[in-house]
Amino acid sequence: MEVSKELILNALWETLYMVSVSLFFGGIIGIFLGVLLVVTRKGHILENRLIYSSVNPIVNIFRSIPFIILLVAIIPFTRLIVGTSIGTTAAIVPLVLHIGPYFSRLVENSLLEVDEGIIEAAKAMGATPLQIIYRFLMPEAFSSLILSLTTVTIGLIGATAMAGAIGGGGLGDVAITYGYQRFSSITILVTVVILVILVQAIQEIGNRLERKARRI
Amino acid sequence: MIEFRQVSKVFDSGGKKVEALKNIQLSVNKGDIFGVIGFSGAGKSTLIRTVNLLEYPTSGEVIVKGKNLAKLSHNEIREAKKDIGMIFQHFNLINSRNVFHNVAMPLLLSGYNKKAVEDQVYETLRFVGLEEKANNYPDQLSGGQKQRVGIARALVTNPSILLCDEATSALDPETTKSILNLLKRINEEYNITILIITHEMEVIKEICNRVGVMEDGQIIETGSVYEVFAHPKTATTRNFVKSVIRDEVPQSVYQLLKEKDHFSRIFKIEFFGADSGQPIVSKTAKIYNVEINVLFGNITELQGIPFGNLVVELIGDNYEIERAIEYIISQEIEVKEVIEDGSEQRIDIERVVGNALHG
């Protein structure tokens, strides 16, 4: 059977929809948790053992569950949040829970790379912890955060392929249901080519933004 | 202005207690450029950090302008910190922000309006001589320029105290001089009290009026720079003094002592202020029947007072030489004789002749 143009375009749209919405929410969660993981650690500006030692393992747990398992394991939670457990929107909930903790680790790494001297200077001029975070840490880590976000975005594209398991749709789903299960090599080829172009484009945009942030 | 009262600091690193500060007792007066010198690990970084509470003392008090900051609320501490500028060895500038933004930062944190920020920042940049670099980024600046940005950032809130944490240690000698000059101007023009910590005696010599020598968490010597340089009490201090003023008698002098074929005696004349070197030498030569041959000299200036030593050879008969030396000593100048050490065939003993001659 032939794959229609509409089918592919529709799948592309579904992929972009899932990626962008879950990137938005996952990004917020990732930045929040990443900052929390940094500032509450020992010796940092808001050292708090209780918060650090609870957030840290939670992030690890989510990072260790394979996405395909997470997808089905949290179905009741998904239904609670978006009212349904199948479809594109329903896929967003596990995608967010998958990507948020992953991103938080990358954010954590980026922020830890910021020179401690800068934090010291901030403290010396009487900055509040919140000011230290958004006036010093975030700007200094900005270019590195862009690259992390790029990595996460590309990771999300891969993860959406599995969203087909709960009827999420998207390019990966088309590749499996039309291409693999119905032996349509051309479908696989087309979707894969689109995915490759998508990933290349995102990486390129990410690199350019990062270079711009570093003023190169 | 700044008073350390029995300040101790203990770091707990992996169950091992490290005493970084031991009962520090020190006061910095208003208008001082106070230098704390010590080798790395002496605790001087910790000391300066207790002033603006980057480190809290474990015990004791640091009183800044009459207040013990550690007793204040978080908000009051933040306010108090705006009166204490600080500059760092590695500048600690925000690399992702331009010079203007870096200097403006302390004002932005306090929520100043845009106009006030701009006026204040440009005025400060003019003072440090970086007005035209306002739109440059730190990585486009030289080390000296970066430190000027750091200084501008520290001054922009009009503080009354400036803390300098090894501010010139990452700079070459030429740049160090220019930064030190700038610090001196800050002290003179804005009447800002400066506390400097350093391991370079050059810094103390160049701009400080008072100095504390730190070793193993303690202040082992303190006083006016002149006093401490002229009469170092401890070996550590002597070593620091030696790093700027060569104190030992050079080999060539010993060589001469061994090989000379006329009668003469060699003395080391130490000048601690009073009169400078030359008048004493020429006066002595005029009054007494001795020839004075300057073999080696090392005179520098400390806060406008000459300081250092001259190694001279006095040629003449012994009686005249003794009288000449007595005269020099009577001018409040210390004299030591350079003599040969028989046992080692080397001449490296300096006998203090003052007492022998007077007694």
Whether pLDDT at B349 is above 50: no
> B171 and B195, same structural domain?
yes
Per-residue pLDDT tens over the stretch B13-47: 778 888 899 999 999 999 999 999 998 888 999 99
CB contact under 8 A, A123 and B54: yes
The residues facing B162 across adjacent strands are B85, B194
Whether pLDDT at A185 is above 80: yes
Closest to B81 (Cβ–Cβ): which among A115, A126, A140?
Answer: A126
> B324 and B264, same structural domain?
yes
> B118 and B259, same structural domain?
no
> B266 and B337, same structural domain?
yes
Mutation site for B-interface testing, chosen from A44, A125, A209 by largest number of B Cβ within 10 Å:
A125
> B227 and B147, same structural domain?
yes
> B74 and B163, same structural domain?
yes
For A192-201, B72-81, B109-118, B225-234, which range has the lowest pLDDT when averaged over its residues?
B225-234
> B173 and B74, same structural domain?
yes
Percent of chain B at pLDDT exceeding 90:
51
Q: Which A residues in the span 195-214 are in contact with B, Cβ-Cβ below 8 Å?
A: 213
Rounded Cα–Cα distance for residues A172 and A11 (Å)? 8
Q: Pairing state of beta strands B67-68 and B291-302?
A: unpaired
Q: How far is B303 from chain A (nearest CA, A)?
A: 31
> B214 and B130, same structural domain?
yes
Q: What is the mean pLDDT of chain A?
A: 91
> B308 and B214, same structural domain?
no
Whether pLDDT at A48 is above 90: yes
Whether pLDDT at B132 is above 70: yes
> B160 and B142, same structural domain?
yes
Whether pLDDT at B278 is above 70: no
Rounded Cα–Cα distance for residues B249 and B261 (Å)? 20
Tokens 């400097």 — which residue? Answer: B196
Q: Provide the H-helix boundaries in chain A.
A: 5-39, 49-64, 67-73, 75-82, 88-112, 116-124, 129-131, 138-160, 171-174, 185-213
Q: How far is A148 from chain B (nearest CA, A)?
A: 17
Residue that finishes a domain, picked among B220, B244, B268: B244
Percent of chain B at pLDDT exceeding 70:
92
Predicted confidence band of residue B317 (pLDDT cuts 50, 70, 90): confident
| Averaged pLDDT for residues B87-92 | 94
Give the Cα-Cα-Cα angle B185, B67, B120 (nearest 5 degrees).
Answer: 40
Edge to edge, the sheet with strand B193-198 lists: B84-87, B161-165, B193-198, B33-37, B210-215, B218-224
Closest to A121 (Cβ–Cβ): which among B79, B82, B88?
Answer: B88
**Which CATH number does the domain housing residue B288 bear?**
3.30.70.260
Q: Which domains does chain A have, with CATH numbers?
A: 5-213 (1.10.3720.10)
CB contact under 8 A, A125 and B108: no
Predicted confidence band of residue A17 (pLDDT cuts 50, 70, 90): very high
> B268 and B226, same structural domain?
no
Q: Which residue has the higher pLDDT, A140 or B348?
A: A140
Per-residue pLDDT tens over the stretch A127-143: 999 999 999 999 999 99
Q: Which residue has the higher pLDDT, B193 or A68?
A: B193
CB contact under 8 A, B97 and A139: yes
Residue B272: domain span: 251-358
Q: Which residue has the higher pLDDT, B181 or B354?
A: B181
For A96-110, B109-123, B259-273, which range has the lowest pLDDT when averaged over its residues?
B259-273
Rounded Cα–Cα distance for residues A95 and A24 (Å)? 11
Chains A, B: CB contacts within 8 A come to 59
State the pLDDT at residue A92.
Answer: 92
Residue that finishes a domain, picked among B244, B277, B303: B244
Q: Is B273 exposed, middle or buried, given 0-12, 13-18 or 19+ CB atoms closer than 10 A?
A: middle
Contacts of B94 in chain A (CB under 8 A): 118, 136, 139-140
State the pLDDT at residue B3.
Answer: 93
Q: How far is A134 from chain B (nearest CA, A)?
A: 11
Predicted confidence band of residue B198 (pLDDT cuts 50, 70, 90): very high
| A50 and B CB contact within 8 Å | no
> B258 and B153, same structural domain?
no
Q: Is A201 exposed, middle or buried, given 0-12, 13-18 or 19+ CB atoms closer than 10 A?
A: exposed
Task: Report which of B83, B48, B52, B45 is spatially closest to residue B68, judged by C-alpha positions.
Answer: B52
Whether pLDDT at B339 is above 80: no
State the pLDDT at residue A188.
Answer: 85
| Averaged pLDDT for residues A157-162 | 88
- H or E element, residue B206: helix B201-207
Whether pLDDT at B354 is above 60: no
CB contact under 8 A, A127 and B109: yes
**Which CATH number does the domain housing residue B174 bear?**
3.40.50.300
Q: How many domains does chain B have?
A: 2
Q: How far is B188 from chain A (nearest CA, A)?
A: 23
Question: How many CB atoms neighbour CB B226 within 10 A?
Answer: 18
Per-residue pLDDT tens over the stretch A53-97: 999 999 999 999 999 899 888 989 999 988 888 888 899 999 999
| Averaged pLDDT for residues A20-45 | 95
Residue that finishes a domain, picked among B244, B268, B285: B244
Tokens 């190169």 — which residue? Answer: A216
Calculate the alpha carbon distances from B278 to A111, B54, B250, B352 in Å: 62, 49, 20, 22
Contacts of B51 in chain A (CB under 8 A): none
Q: What is the mean pLDDT of chain B?
A: 86
Q: Pairing state of beta strands B2-13 and B16-28?
A: antiparallel
Q: How far is B82 from chain A (nearest CA, A)?
A: 6
For A35-39, A62-66, B192-196, B280-284, which range has the lowest pLDDT when averaged over its residues?
B280-284
Give the Cα-Cα-Cα angle B35, B38, B43 (nearest 5 degrees).
Answer: 100
Predicted confidence band of residue B273 (pLDDT cuts 50, 70, 90): low
